[in-house]
Amino acid sequence: MSLDLVIVDYGMGNLRSVQKALESIGHNAMISSDPKHLGSAQALILPGVGAFGDGMQNIFSRELHQPILDHLKAEKPLLGICLGMQLLFETGYEDGEQKGLGWLGGDVVRFSPMPGIKIPHMGWNQVRYANSETQFGNVLDQSYYYFVHAYHVRPTDLEVVATRTEHGIPFVSSVRKGKVLATQFHPEKSQKPGVELLRYFVEGIAGLKKNCPGKYGKLGDF
């Protein structure tokens, strides 16, 4: 399988779901925990489900932190999903203060309890673009994506904010910095807008061409 696109396996994530979603739009991706594969990849996808501290511990124990940071420093494309987005930040506060990869300034905090607001935030919710320059290819503003999380990011640099979503408070639901795009929601579980976002990352940001038949052509074909 091609090393153009590698899904990082650090033991926490819907790896096969992401891989299948990519295949549906004509892109094969390797799932790998081999640092050499990460170092050779043209683009990385860092998915994740679970606790911030556990995620960082797994990344370090598998010696994946340096290949990921080297990839980012080389300004290569990376897509972070859910926990994979959170780990790009400096600090997480799940089960105490935890150090992240530190690629983006800011922290990751739990939603504060509010009347009528369920934690974790789970299910479909609208995503609003921060401005016209943050649009995900052909995906319309206020499209719905699937969320499962109790913590949200607080970037220190508001220029990286791509979208916001309401859950009791307006929170940052995705960020963009150069060729790095990261989402709190799960595009692989978000039907048409989700696969179109994946297409935007792989073809628009990473510049990769299709390498398998795929199942869906345009957004409306899902």
Q: Please give the tally of structural domains in the chain.
A: 1
CATH number of the domain where residue 69 is located: 3.40.50.880
**Contact predicate 6/38, CB 8 Å:** yes
CB-side neighbour CA atoms (13 Å) of 121: 27
d(CA 169, CA 153): 13
Nearest alpha-carbon partner for 85 in 20, 204, 3, 165: 165
Structure confidence by residue, pLDDT tens digits, 156-189: 999 999 999 999 999 999 999 999 999 999 999 9
Nearest alpha-carbon partner for 178 in 194, 159, 196: 159
Handedness of CA 212, 217, 221, 222 (dihedral sign): positive
Choose the catalytic residue: 71, 152, 188, 196: 188
d(CA 172, CA 156): 11
Structure confidence by residue, pLDDT tens digits, 40-54: 999 999 999 999 999
Q: In the annotation, is 186 catalytic? A: yes
Choose the catalytic residue: 27, 37, 71, 82: 82
Retrieve residue 71's tokens: 């990839």
DSSP line for the chain:
--SSEEEE-SS-S-HHHHHHHHHHTT---EEE--HHHHHH-SEEEE---S-HHHHHHHHHHTT-HHHHHHHHHTT--EEEETHHHHTTEEEE-TTS-EE---SEEEEEEEPPP-TT--SSEEEEEEEEESSGGG--TTPPTTEEEEEEESEEEEES-GGGEEEEEEESEEEEEEEEETTEEEESSBGGGSHHHHHHHHHIIIIIIS-PPP-S--S--SGGG-
Strand partners, 166: 170
Q: What is the extent of the structural domain holding 200?
A: 5-221
Structure confidence by residue, pLDDT tens digits, 62-121: 999 999 999 999 999 999 999 999 999 999 999 899 999 999 999 999 999 999 999 999
Note the pTM of the prediction, 2 decimals.
Answer: 0.95
Choose the catalytic residue: 37, 121, 186, 196: 186
Kindly report whether the peptide bond that precedes residue 120 is cis, defined as omega within 30 degrees of 0: yes
Q: In the annotation, is 212 catalytic? A: no
d(CA 90, CA 102): 4
Strand partners, 161: 175
Nearest alpha-carbon partner for 98 in 69, 140, 126, 59: 59
Q: In the annotation, is 94 catalytic? A: no
- Band of the pLDDT at 218, cuts 50, 70, 90? low
What average pLDDT does the chain have? 94
What integer pLDDT is reported at residue 220 of this predicted model?
A: 47
Contacts of 170 (CB under 8 A, 6+ apart): 164
